[in-house]
């Protein structure tokens, strides 16, 4: 049973990455090179975003601005915001 949950989670993450790629590219073009190490939290409903120095900062800024709206969080370069 746990294997199924993990497999579904990985598939959803891949789908999310594919769906958010065009929006992330637009954001990357709008930001300066100094922001390349930042973490971006994107509102999946509106495309608005906030930046943070790390996952926690980006998450808190997102929640303060957008509440419980759907979100996608990653590094500005598209890599994962958290390494496990």
Per residue in 33-79, pLDDT tens? 888 889 999 999 999 999 999 999 999 999 999 999 999 999 998 88
Q: Can you give the pLDDT at residue 3?
A: 43
DSSP 46-72: T--EEEESSHHHHHHHHHHHHTT--EE
- How do the domains of the chain map onto residue ranges? 2-75
Q: Can you give the pLDDT at residue 51?
A: 94
1-29 pLDDT per residue, tens: 444 444 444 445 557 778 888 888 998 99
pTM, entire model: 0.78
Q: Can you give the pLDDT at residue 13?
A: 53
CA-CA distance, 24 to 40, in Å (whole number)?
9
């Amino acid at each position: 049973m746990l294997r199924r949950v993990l497999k579904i989670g990985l598939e959803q993450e891949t789908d999310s990455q594919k769906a958010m790629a065009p929006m992330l590219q637009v954001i990357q073009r709008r930001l300066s090179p100094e922001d390349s190490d930042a973490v971006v939290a994107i509102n999946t409903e509106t495309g608005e975003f906030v930046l943070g120095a790390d996952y926690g900062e980006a998450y808190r800024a997102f929640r303060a601005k957008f509440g419980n709206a759907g979100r996608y969080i990653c590094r500005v370069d598209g890599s994962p915001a958290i390494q496990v």
